[in-house]
Structures are given as C-alpha cells and as structure tokens.
Copies of this chain bind each other. A is one copy, B any other.
Amino acid sequence: MKKIINDPKTVVAESLRGLAAAHADVLRVEDDPAIVVRADAPLAGKVAVISGGGSGHEPLHGGFVGQGMLAAAVPGAVFTSPTPDAVEAAVKATAGDAGALLIVKNYTGDVLNFETAAELAAAEGLDVRSVVIDDDVAVKDSTYTAGRRGVGGTVLLEKIAGAAAERGDALDAVEALARKVIGQVRSIGVALTAPTVPHAGEPSFDLADDEIEFGIGIHGEPGIERTAVMTADELVARMVEAVVTDLPFAEGDKVLLFTNSMGGTPLVELYLAHGIAERLLAERGIVVERRLVGPYITSLEMQGMSLTLLKLDDELTELWDAPVNTPALRWGV
C-alpha cells in the first residue's frame, strides 16, 4: 500500500484539518467527535440537512457542506459509519427550532447509528427526522439482503433537500421532498479495480486483470456479477438498461443524468462514458435536462463509475438549479 498518510489511525482527523484550512469561508470542523459544519451554523429558522457515513467517499459528505446543501456532515472512520454521539453533535451544532433531517445511506451500520442518534436527539426535544436512501438497483431488495444500498442518488438528494431547506421549507416539506427524490432516483455502479483501506493495507477485494465487478456499491461491495471486461459501449448500455428498466424511466421523462467516477477512473474515460449514456437515453426518448459529471461519491482510489438517473419535475429542477456554495459543488454564488 502506498498512500500519502502518516498513520492509518489519524487519516480522517488529519484530512479534516486540511478541509477546514482550505474552506474556512464555507465550513468549520469541530473535534471529538469530529463533525463538519457550515461556517454560519447554527441555522436560525432553517431546517438543518445532515448526512454522514464512513470516510473514503470524498467529496461526499464533507465536500457538500455549505450554503444550499448540507448543514453538517458526520465523517466516520474510513468505510465505517460514524457513531451516534457524533451524529447527535452535528444535530446540536446546526439545528434550531426548524429541526433537522438526517440523510442516511442504507447500510446496516449507518442505519443503526443514525437511528440511535435520532432517538438521542429526540429525547432532548429536538425535531429530528431521517430518511434512508436506497437507490442502488444492483441489490435485490428482498429478505435475503440488507436491502438496496444508498449510492450516487445521495449526492442529488443532498443538493435538493439542501436547496429546499435553504429557501425556508419546513421540516415536513423537506422530508416529503426527500422521500420523493428517493422514490424516483436509481443508480448502478461498476468497479474495475479495488480500493485499499488505509488500516487494512491491501486491496479490499481481488479482481483479475480481465474482470470487472458489475453492480458494486461505494465500498466496492459486489452486486450483480463478476464478468469479463467489455467495451465502454457494452458496459454503459448494460448500466443504462439496468437503471432505466428499474424505476422504470419512460419515453418523454425528463431526467438528471449523473455520471460519477468512483475515484480512480480519469475524466477522459468518464466523459467518454457520459457521452454514450446521453446517446442511449436519447435513443430511448428520455430527455436529459440536467447533468453532473465527475468524482462526487467515490471509493478511495477505486477505478470504476456509476450512473444515476433522477426523474425531474419543475420543482426538482428549480431546486437543483438553486445556488449552492460548497467545496465540491458550486454555482450561482
């Protein structure tokens, strides 16, 4: 393992120090438990949209803290969901009378820890709701699994819920909107290589030189099948098919297309894949009205990509377009 770190145990804490130094105008980092909060928190009169999870998926979530998006992010150890007291600290640091919405990616650890935090905060009289995002079509949502994972859709959900909170929507409305987004967003991911978790010291899984993992989660967890490498045309066609047929997305639907790098896939490949996805959606009569292309929800240095489709309506489009000022997403400001 070669990494730019000092000690696996201090990676997250040291990284947060750099984040704080780089973006002091937008956010601040509090220690013990470590949380990332908007520079102007607590937010009087506005719902605090909060998310978090294991680290190693940057810019998710810390890179999305700021005006028009997250009020706070709760980073766990690498690939390990944060503890309830950290989540609770984030709620207390940001939420006012308007309450807080927790955005939880559907992983056993995240759900259990955020649930406990919500109970703790509620016990202190705070109005805290949580929504669980599970947009990954690679997992069959059955009693034989922990359910669908939260993946790329999380980024879009954080932006849209954050925009609703910023314009002053009440907690009920922000929560309802979040549930709407969760209902109409779907994703699929693929891995070409494995990430290496600092404390583990070696790649999280073994993938032969001629194999890819189709249907991965954001830790490289497997999904549909391990298969032979294929051309970008074939790969993207399979991904588009998996996502489109799941909701399903129909001819005439207006969508946001999010083409995401898992970290190690260079932009030259990502844009190539994005171009293919645009073409395939056009062929199906699905209208791409907004797009996001880049490494926004990653798995350390893992090579691979994900595609996310969100069905848009006027309200969602308006909230997507609303000004946002965070380290990783910024426009209109």
Contacts and interface: CB of A to CB of B under 8 A. Distances in A.
A264 B259 CA distance: 18
B6 A233 contact: yes
A247 interface: no
A73 interface: no
A265 to B, nearest CB: 6
Copies held by the complex: 2
A294 to B, nearest CB: 8
Contact of A15 (B193, B264, B275): B275
Interface stretch (A102-110, A140-148, A161-169, A299-307): A299-307
A266 B192 contact: no
A330 B263 CA distance: 21
A2 B212 contact: yes
Contact of A293 (B22, B264, B298): B22
B18 A271 contact: yes
Interface residues on A, range: 35 or more
A189 interface: no
Given A4-B192, A272-B4, A333-B332, A63 B267 contact: yes
A270 B4 contact: yes
A295 interface: yes
Contact of A268 (B58, B268, B269, B273): B58
Nearest to A302: B266
B15 A271 contact: yes
Contacts of A11: 268-269, 272
A170 B276 CA distance: 41
A317 B268 CA distance: 31
Interface of A: 2-7, 11-12, 14-22, 55-56, 58-59, 63, 78, 192-193, 209-210, 212, 229, 231-233, 235-236, 259, 263-276, 278, 288, 291, 293, 295, 298, 300-301, 303, 305, 327, 330-333
